[in-house]
Structure 1
Amino acid sequence: MNKPHNSSKLSESELQGYKEYYKELKTVINTIPEEIASQSQPLITLHNRLELPSEFKLSTLSRCLTCRTSRLPNVTIANDNSSSDLKAFPSIVETNNLLDNHGLNIFGKNILMYHITRHMLLKYPRLPTIVLNEAIASYISQDSLSNIARSWGVEKEESAIVERYLRKEPIPLTLGKLRYFNNTLKKLDGIERLTKNGEFSENAALSLALRSIIGVLYTIQPNLAERFIDKHILSRKLDVSKLFMFEQPTRELAKLCEREGLQKPISKLTAESGRLSKAPVFIIGVFSGDEKLGEGFGSSLKEAKARAATDALLKWYCYEPVLQQGQKPVVDHGTVIV
């Protein structure tokens, strides 16, 4: 095991100063006074960048950045220069359960799930359930949310407290950084805590912070949370047509037309090129009566026919209604069973 960090070797006066610094830091983090939070430049910057309302206090924003995993106990490591054990200087301060983002995250997660689901159902009322779930997951997955939070410039607290003390870092600065189990020991001593769901990862902590902010906004005013979700999450482009994979498109299209009372779909060759060459191209349209449902091309008639049926199915499932005032919402009959 590697040697402990050099900052562990403090003089008696420095050690006493460190203890006082740690005690003050712990008091601030476990109370988060608004007057101290208002001195944190990272908090002020993040608050302004996200255009949060004045009712959203800086102390509450600091709480959104505090994950419950930051309460993990300190560990003990061996000192290579001595037979005695040396307690590692912590990088985090234990926070009481009333001032972390655990509850806010759960609330924000439910609000986010509801709003995204409602948006997708209104925009694409005919999406099959499996595709709908994938579309929702693409918006609210841990990786997606963490990338958004990272783009805001959220900083993570990864310095040991003794290092902050030695460089005389102002305590309010800590309040504006993401606090979670950031695994300082991984960098210093080759130790890393592994979990199955990655709850101690940076991505997990960033997504917790984002959902917590949504939860707080909803308590201030529900439409603020909705506008926030629209601006930062739903503004990202998602091509739902890429989420489909049809195994029997021609058969599924026939079943769909039968269910909807449409005439049986018929494939017709509309154009072709180089039938007898090495690279032929066939263009086929699929029709229900006189109405053209879809079109596809391919190097063979079979391939072009399948693509035409796929095009017709995508146009049905990815249909976006233009709802006018007084018009009833579109409700689909469900996924076609082949």
Structure 2
Amino acid sequence: MLASNRSSIHIAKRFISISPAISKINTINNNLNNNSVNHKFKFSYENAKNKQINQNNLSLPENKLDFLNYNNNSSSSSISLLSNDEAKLIPSIVALHARLNLPKNYPFNTLVKSLTCPTNEFSNLSSNNQQLSILGSHILSFYISEYLMTNYPRLPISILKSAIDSYIGDFSLYDLAKNNWGIEEDLTSKLDKYLSNEPEIFKFGKLRYIRKVTNPEINVTKYSNDQNSNTFELSKAEAYANSVRSIIAGLYIHSNNNDLIIKNFINNHILSRQIDIESLFQFKESGKLLSKILKSNNLQPPVVKLISETGRLSSTPVYVVGCFSGENLLSTAEGCSLREARIKSFNKALKAWYLYKPLDTKLPSDEGFNGMFVDQGEKFY
């Protein structure tokens, strides 16, 4: 069913797709017309502030997987990350490393980089998490999408998008980073740090970013020009979410692309969170939709029959009805009126269809995956 709907959905300046990365149709058409091969791609949760870097502006290390030593030659900033030995002196970094049960070969200075969002001070690629967050969003979109598509092969594309957003959206990852992982943001000023005699190195142990001011203080008027606004401004949810994506990207890099390690980490921290996919459905004219689904599968149209009732003449009657297709009982529902019970039975039958879950499913990234059967979809769309 999903094979016929492999297209991106544009919502709030963000592209969410089944695949980890999908091209913009208009951009590709323009490039084809201009005979250009420089295709631009949108990642699932890549923010608009993430700009592409020309490879000529990068100084590449000998080991192309050594992402910590990539430098942007066009940047005027010469600030680099802390060394791994220096990062070990930060208590919050050591605690976060142990709390997440990261492997021993995961460097502590990668955690420091994951908590450093792009700012005017840290604009060099080697000193912020901009590129790591893009890689992390790419990884998360792939593993979450394959999990949902394999376990719920009949999900409509809109529900699939909402389910992905429920797992790895900005607010979901913000809640994970702040309330589960215990990541703190740096709210103290330089004066406060000076008065408290805090070591300069300790500032790297907290999440640092330029805060986007949307609601100024009372009796304070905000004057700004969008053209001159700081391109590094992030909301709190975006900053926390990018730190989670960067940590996962660092784990992928330093595990030598070991799928098992990254999948176990995502299963333990992301997919272990309970998402009520059933609550994402909202049907309009559920009876017509159910009739079309049954007709496309060569089944008889739905018929609602009264099974039992009580208190018909009272102020609180209860009716129990069943939705049948021929002799097959699709669902049962109860309501205070026959109409309410009838609509509920249609909704339950539709959810039972869309939330079909195969037994003993294997993910495409698992060993021994030989493919799986997915129904041909809804022909009437």
**TM-score class, shorter:** 0.7 to 0.9
Quick check: which has more Rg, 1 or 2? 1
Whole-angstrom CA distance in 2 between matches of 1:160 and 1:134: 38
Match of 1:282 among 287, 296, 319: 319
Does the CA contact (< 8 Å) of 1:285 and 1:296 recur in 2?
A: yes
Whole-angstrom CA distance in 2 between matches of 1:327 and 1:211: 30
Instruction: Answer yes or no: is 1:33 the counterpart of 2:83.
Output: yes
Aligned to 1:136: 164
Whole-angstrom CA distance in 2 between matches of 1:212 and 1:183: 20
Amino acid paired to 1:210: V
Match of 1:50 among 97, 100, 105: 100
> SS at the partner of 2:266?
helix
Aligned to 1:202: 236
Aligned to 1:112: 140
> SS at the partner of 1:233?
helix
Q: CA deviation at 1:98?
A: 2.0
* Cα deviations by residue, 1:310-337 (Å, 9 ceiling, x for unpaired): 1111111111110368886241332474
* Cα deviations by residue, 1:50-93 (Å, 9 ceiling, x for unpaired): 0111111001110000001x22xxxxxxxxxxxxxxxxxxxxx4
When the two chains are superposed, the root-mean-square deviation of aligned CA atoms in Å is 2.9
Shift in alpha-carbon separation, 1:198–1:173, aligned structure 2, 3 A: closer
Amino acid paired to 1:247: K
Aligned to 1:243: 280
Match of 2:353 among 285, 306, 316: 316
Shift in alpha-carbon separation, 1:193–1:205, aligned structure 2, 3 A: farther
Amino acid paired to 1:333: Q
Q: Please report the TM-score for the alignment, with normalisation by the length of structure 1.
A: 0.77
Whole-angstrom CA distance in 2 between matches of 1:29 and 1:293: 64
Does the CA contact (< 8 Å) of 1:275 and 1:281 recur in 2?
A: yes
Q: Which is richer in helix?
A: 1
Whole-angstrom CA distance in 1 between matches of 2:170 and 2:232: 10
Match of 2:302 among 260, 265, 274: 265
Aligned to 2:182: 153
Whole-angstrom CA distance in 1 between matches of 2:94 and 2:309: 64
Identity of aligned residues (%): 35
Whole-angstrom CA distance in 1 between matches of 2:145 and 2:223: 35
Instruction: Answer yes or no: is 1:127 the counterpart of 2:155.
Output: yes
Aligned to 1:334: 377
Does the CA contact (< 8 Å) of 1:155 and 1:178 recur in 2?
A: yes
Aligned to 1:302: 339
Shift in alpha-carbon separation, 1:121–1:179, aligned structure 2, 3 A: same
> SS at the partner of 1:271?
strand
Greater relative contact order (Cα 8 A, min sep 6): structure 1 or 2?
1
* Cα deviations by residue, 1:143-184 (Å, 9 ceiling, x for unpaired): 110110002111212222243233221223122111111479
Matched residues, number: 288
Aligned to 1:214: 248
For structure 2, list consecutive stretches of 5 or more residues without a partner in the other structure.
Answer: 1-76, 363-368
Whole-angstrom CA distance in 1 between matches of 2:175 and 2:221: 26
Does the CA contact (< 8 Å) of 1:255 and 1:336 recur in 2?
A: no
Does the CA contact (< 8 Å) of 2:78 and 2:124 recur in 1?
A: no
For structure 1, list consecutive stretches of 5 or more residues without a partner in the other structure.
Answer: 1-26, 72-92
Whole-angstrom CA distance in 1 between matches of 2:273 and 2:285: 31
Q: CA deviation at 1:199?
A: 4.6
Q: CA deviation at 1:31?
A: 3.3
